[in-house]
Chains A and B, each alone.
Chain A
Amino acid sequence: MTKTTNQLTFECETGNYHTFCPISCVSWLYQKIEDSFFLVIGTKTCGYFLQNAMGVMIFAEPRYAMAELEEADISAQLNDYQELKRLCLQIKKDRSPGVIFWIGTCTTEIIKMDLEGIAPKLEAEIGIPIVVARANGLDYAFTQGEDTVLASMAQRCPRKEPKLSISKKQSLIQNSSEHAYNSTNYSIKKAITPLVIFGSLPNTVASQLTFELEKQGIHVRGWLPSSSYSELPLIQEGDYVVGINPFLSRTATTLMRRRKAKLISAPFPIGPDGTRAWIEKICNIFNVQPQGLIEREQSVWKSVESYLDLVRGKSVFFMGDNLLEISLARFLIRCGMIVYEIGVPYMDKRYQAAELALLQKTCQDMNTIIPRIVEKPDNYNQLERIHELKPDLVITGMAYANPLEARGTNTKWSVEFTFSQIHGFVNTQEILQLVTKPLLRNAIFNSPVPILYNTKN
């Protein structure tokens, strides 16, 4: 079953796999975009999923709601425009958001509700921007939901510099130069580079990455999304854009085709190897000679040495559900692990080209097998392969984690990688903590009296 070629191979199975519905992006995007309100136009099924998947968040009066379709909506006895207007006015009254996102679902697709057509009219009528994203399970998996939202937002980024915000911009420059004063390599130009980074990250992680670039003298113009809708970054023709997550291919396409931006194809800043490659690639584009990056990467590796001892030589199987798989596998191979299989919902070979190249190179450097990449996996077949290969760790969804543990297989819940801080040099340890937790814990269980914890039938 193990491959011996040194070329990456791609397989495609039946697509019968477990993943989260893409509307789950609401749960992190409403937190990121602080003046937003997300209206998911769908059925009870969507609502039930969100309510359960978001856990305790749901009780914190989140800025999201369902527009729950009833039988009369399905059979078109009610007028979509009037219904949406009624709900949006209610939202405007109760929450007065800066933007309302309409999340289209499977049902709106099937009944062909013209959300893109209705939104501009209603937007003009109620005076709040309405952004439409079709994050449905017919077309997308889990994190791709964010991709559909960001692709829609990309269209809303200003094309011209607004005149009034000069003072704001200056204060931004001052902010970033404050970092520069304190950094060791202050000397490089302070001018804002025509670079916009896309992908939603917690604010602290976003500023960490911004800061890494600033240390190289690259001052990022802005992020898509920023923490408020009113601060969407300027994107002009010929500007550069770079992604921080592997699942943002639609956003990348939109930025290139509709906004005429130039995409920097780089590996993603996950793990110190990825982060270094990401920064190097950006520096390369702006003709900057990266300073101290290699040392920086090495010192990060050194600081996590104790974790590396735990993972080295251990094998991993990615069942695949959130599209972070290629980058994580690449990082884990660099850590000395053996990856048997990378299941992935969807593989955009162009958008992930640099990441795939780095994966291949990493396998060669580490002199390890090239994992099989399985797009649209079939969970049933995967479970048979897992049974056969007996990997040390399976990274999988919650539907399979407990049953696999009961059969003596170490598992890590894949969704945690989506919700944890895993980007940049600073968060290397966080990824390794996630990966090593099941190994550490189960080592404890197996040492003194394994029979106590053996639940295999």
Chain B
Amino acid sequence: MKLAYWMYAGPAHIGTLRIASSFNNVHAIMHAPLGDDYFNVMRSMLERERDFTPVTASIVDRHVLSRGSQEKVVHSIIKKDKEEKPNLVVLTPTCTSSILQEDLQNFAYRASLETEADVLLADVNHYRVNELQASDRTLDQIVRFYLDKSKKKNILNDTKTLNPSVNIIGVVGLGFHNYHDLSELKRIFADLNININLVIPENASVHSLNNLPRAWFNCVPYREVGILTAEYLKKEFDMPFVNITPMGLTQITSFIREVQNILSNLGKHVDYEAYIDTQTRFISQSAWFSRSIDCQNLTGKKAVVFGDLTHSTAIARILHSEMGIRVAWVGTYCKYDVEWFKRQVSDISEQIVISENHAVIAELIKKTDPAVIFGTQMERHIGKKLNIPCGVISSPVHIQNFPLSYRPFLGYEGTNQIADLVYNSFTLGMEDHLLDLFGGHDIVNADEINQQSSVTWSPQALLELTKIPGFVRKKVKKNTEAFANQQTISVITVETMYSAKEKLQS
């Protein structure tokens, strides 16, 4: 058992559901107790999804516990097949249901005999993998399934496209700024004269997966999701892939050069250097920003970075190599991929932190006392307590990290966004500090002074007043006193307060 207050990565089934619900017309059925469908709330709220989340539960209740699911799961799948006519149903076990050790594989098979839809059982162990690993695996599983099927049916399309083309693999619902990143990636590839063959899983149809091998190569923008799929496609169809995250100028340059390299290996010789040069110097503002006086002030300032693999490594690199900021330590909660992480950041910081425990991170931040934090929502709150500004750079996130406006982290526009984020975090911190130094916001609250009241408060009423949350207490006090004056009550009792609330609110 582990005492835990907060987790950075969710349980495995969340990863599976994110993949399934990102595809077009794929329905996930969770084998889960009542209340485990919280994923639907997150998708509907955080992404402000207009459509019903294609996830339902085959409920595990007391009866299932005593007699097994029997026909229930099969019925749920068949019912959903009729109602929604999905292309694919992904049967998703949860922590709870995986202990029951029911033969879900068999249920999936039996259901598939009667459904129009394909049926797959998500192959993830809930006690060994987390949300991110599970999403990687589920995507891989679905892609394999459809490519195998296409091979058997002889509908696999592996004729390469005439012009260079790419599959973008790993853009997923509830991902950190994923949709904006996708637009930015598309823009880069358009600039490089490379066609997009397929984007998966976001909004892709499973029936288009047989076209995956048509692309010249694959692009996996994030470390967390898509690598397994890309490796499989490499092995099976000899498709090269680029898995450098084009976040920050250094990495975008490496990314584009890698693409150039891949194309030339495939016999298409291109030279992107001029493009890189123009973009870096004139389209992205961040190279100039790094040279400007503003950024000079940031030199040697102390920052700490914590997040998932992709964002933590990329942001640390930007701070260190592009802005001259000292990265006191850099860390990740993705324990399962530590070796890769260490390789990425070994030249950036001597201290590398690997932890899933937010208390450890909080303690470290306190000890380091950096000028700024770049982390997840948890680090933002840690920063709030310690009065250290924080820029949010990675999941887990809140609704404010699903902005309406265009906020990519990838590509040249991404560099501008990141520069703003970094700079704003610092200036706010500086401003706060200066204000503190000069005695804070010196605004006298005139209302407070003029509020000489003729009424008195009974001790019980005063006690009651203290129970009212701070931010409305003053208003309640004022209203009650006004009410008392109006009713010519001289001593305010608890009853007076209630009456006042009732009368004055309407």
A: residues with CB less than 8 A from B are 15-16, 18-23, 41, 43-45, 47-49, 51-53, 55, 58-59, 62, 64-71, 73-74, 78, 83-84, 86-87, 90-91, 106-107, 109-111, 136-142, 175, 178-179, 182-183, 203-204, 207-208, 211, 300, 303-304, 306, 380, 383, 397-403, 406, 425-426, 429, 455
Closest-CB distance, A267 to chain B (whole angstroms)? 21
In the complex, which of the residues A16, A53, A383, A402 contacts B59, with contact meaning CB atoms closer than 8 Å?
Answer: A16
- Which listed residue (A15, A70, A429) contacts B505, Cβ 8 A? A429
B127 lies within 8 A of A59 (CB): no
B482 to chain A, nearest CB (A): 17
Chain B residues contacting A300 (CB-CB under 8 Å) are 502
User: Cα distance A15–B502 when bound, in Å?
Assistant: 40
Size category of the binding interface on chain B: 35 or more
B173 interface hit (Cβ, 8 Å): no
Say whether A142 contacts B65, CB under 8 Å: no
The one of A107, A111, A139, A455 in contact with B50, judged by C-beta atoms closer than 8 angstroms, is A455
Residue of B nearest to A401 (CB): B44
With A48-B38, A52-B42 as given contacts, are A110 and B65 in contact (CB-CB < 8 Å)?
Answer: yes
Contact B38 A52 (CB under 8 A): yes
* Per-position binary interface string of chain B over residues 95-113, scored 1 when its CB falls under 8 Å from any chain A CB and 0 otherwise: 1100110000000000000
Q: Does B336 contact A (CB under 8 A)?
A: no
Q: List 22 A-B contacts (CB under 8 A).
A: A16-B76, A43-B11, A48-B14, A59-B378, A64-B5, A70-B127, A86-B1, A91-B3, A110-B99, A138-B33, A138-B34, A140-B34, A182-B493, A182-B495, A204-B464, A211-B495, A306-B506, A380-B56, A397-B41, A398-B41, A401-B44, A403-B44
Residues of A close to B310: CB separation below 8 A: none
Residues of chain A with a CB closer than 8 A to B95's CB: 43-45, 107
A68 near B4 with CB under 8 A, answer yes
Determine the residue in chain A with the shortest Cβ distance to B43.
Answer: A399
Give chain A residues whose Cβ lies under 8 Å from the Cβ of B468. Answer: 204
Chain A neighbourhood of B59, CB < 8 A: 15-16
Whether B460 and A59, one on each chain, are in contact in the complex, defined by CB atoms closer than 8 angstroms, is no
Besides the known contacts A16-B76, A91-B3, A141-B35, 4 further A-B residue pairs in the complex with CB atoms under 8 A apart: A66-B4, A182-B458, A182-B496, A402-B44
Residues of B within 8 A of A15 (CB): 34, 59, 61
Judge whether A21 and B506 touch: CB under 8 Å.
Answer: no
**Contact status A107-B127, CB under 8 Å:** no
- CB pair A403–B52 under 8 Å, yes or no, is yes
* Residue in B closest to A59 when the chains form the complex, CB atoms: B381
Measured between C-beta atoms, what is the minimum distance from A129 to chain B in Å?
19
Other-chain contact of B99, A49, A84, A111 (Cβ < 8 Å): A111
**Contact between A44 and B7 (Cβ–Cβ < 8 Å)?**
yes
Residues of B within 8 A of A (CB): 1-7, 10-11, 13-14, 32-38, 40-42, 44-45, 48-53, 56-57, 59-62, 65, 76, 83, 94-96, 99-100, 126-128, 130, 378, 381, 384, 398, 458, 460, 464, 467-468, 491, 493-496, 498, 501-503, 505-506
Chain B residues, Cβ within 8 Å of A44: 7, 10-11, 95, 126, 130
Instruction: Report the separation of the CA atoms of residues A24 and B500 in the bound assembly, to the nearest whole angstrom.
Output: 33
The answer to whether B495 touches A107 (Cβ under 8 A) is no
Contacts of A45 in B (CB 8 A): 11, 13, 36, 94-96, 126
- Return B124 CB to nearest CB of chain A, in Å: 12
Asked if B48 and A402 sit within 8 Å, CB to CB, the answer is yes
Q: Cβ of B50 and Cβ of A403 under 8 Å apart?
A: yes
C-alpha gap A137/B4 in the complex (Å): 20
Is the CB–CB distance between A21 and B99 below 8 Å?
Answer: no
For A383, the chain B residues whose CB sits under 8 A away are: 52
Q: Which residues of A contact B57 (CB under 8 A)?
A: 16
Residues of chain A lying within 8 A (CB to CB) of residue B378: 59
Give the distance in Å from the alpha carbon of A397 to the alpha carbon of B52 in the complex: 12
Q: Which of B1, B460, B464 contacts A73 (CB 8 A)?
A: B1
> Which of A22, A51, A59, A211 has the most chain B CB within a 10 Å cutoff?
A59
Could you tell me if B128 and A303 are in contact, using CB atoms closer than 8 angstroms? no
Q: Whole-angstrom distance from the CB of B221 to the nearest CB of chain A?
A: 25
Taking the closest CB of chain A, its distance from the CB of B119, in whole angstroms, is: 18
Q: Which of B1, B6, B35 contacts A70 (CB 8 A)?
A: B1
Partner of A138, one of B13, B41, B62: B62
B41 to A399, Cβ gap below 8 A? Answer: yes
Question: Residue on B with the closest CB to A53?
Answer: B38
By a CB distance below 8 angstroms, the chain B residues around A406 are 50-51
Once bound together, how far apart are the Cα atoms of A136 and B61, in whole Å? 10
**Least Cβ–Cβ distance between B398 and chain A, in angstroms:** 8
Given contacts A43-B95, A138-B61, contact A426 B33 (CB under 8 A): no
Query: Which chain B positions have C-beta within 8 A of A140?
Result: 34
Asked whether A78 lies within 8 Å of B1 as measured between CB atoms, the reply is: yes
> A384: nearest residue on chain B (CB-CB)?
B83
Decide: B502 and A425 in contact? CB cutoff 8 A.
yes
CB–CB A18/B37 < 8 A: yes
Q: Complex Cα distance A21/B56, Å?
A: 15
- Among all A-B residue pairs, the 6 with the closest Cβ atoms: A21-B35, A137-B33, A399-B40, A406-B50, A43-B95, A59-B381
Given the known inter-chain contacts A65-B4, A138-B62, A455-B50, please indicate yes or no for A48 contacting B10, CB distance below 8 A: yes
A3 to chain B, nearest CB (A): 26
By a CB distance below 8 angstroms, the chain A residues around B35 are 19-23, 49, 137, 141-142
Inter-subunit contact A207/B494 (CB<8 Å): yes
Contact partners of B5 in chain A: CB under 8 A: 58, 62, 64-66
Known contacts A16-B57, A426-B498: does B96 contact A110 (CB below 8 Å)?
A: yes
Q: B48 → chain A, closest Cβ, in Å?
A: 6
Say yes or no: A58 contacts B6, CB within 8 Å. Answer: yes
Q: A142 contacts which chain B residues (CB < 8 A)?
A: 35
Distance between Cα atoms of A271 and B11 in the complex (Å): 41
Most chain A CB inside 10 Å of its own CB: which residue of B13, B128, B494: B494
**Cα-based distance from A397 to B43 in the complex (angstroms):** 13
* A47 pairs with B96, CB closer than 8 A: no
In the complex, the answer to whether A179 meets B460 with C-beta atoms within 8 Å is yes
How many whole Å from B459's CB to the nearest CB in chain A? 8
For A208, give the chain B residue with the smallest CB separation.
Answer: B498
User: How far, in angstroms, from A332 to B497 measured CA to CA in the complex?
Assistant: 27
Residues of A within 8 A of B4 (CB): 47, 65-66, 68
Q: Which residue of B lies closest to A433 (CB)?
A: B505
Chain B residue with minimal CB distance to A55?
Answer: B398
B498 cross-chain contacts in A, Cβ below 8 A: 208, 211, 426
Q: Contacts A106-B33, A403-B44, A403-B52 given: A304-B506 contact, CB under 8 Å?
A: yes
**Minimum CB–CB distance for A257 against chain B, Å:** 21
With A and B bound together, what is the CA distance between A83 and B32 in angstroms?
A: 26
Q: Please report the C-alpha to C-alpha distance between residue A62 and residue B6 in the assembled complex, in whole angstroms.
A: 11
| Nearest residue, chain B, Cβ from A74 | B99
Q: Is the CB of B51 within 8 A of A47?
A: no
* A58 CA to B377 CA, complexed, in Å: 11
A182 to B62, CA, bound (A): 53
Contacting residues, chain A, for B502 (C-beta < 8 A): 300, 303, 425-426, 429
- Max chain B C-beta neighbours (<10 A), residue from A49, A69, A86, A203: A49
Identify which of B14, B48, B50, B467 contacts A203 (C-beta below 8 A).
B467
- Residues of B within 8 Å of A139, CB to CB, are 61-62
User: Of A16, A175, A203, A402, which contacts B45 at CB under 8 A?
Assistant: A402
The answer on a CB contact under 8 Å between A68 and B1 is: yes
**Is B495's CB under 8 angstroms from A70's CB?**
no
In the complex the two chains form, what is the Cα distance from A69 to B83 in whole Å?
37
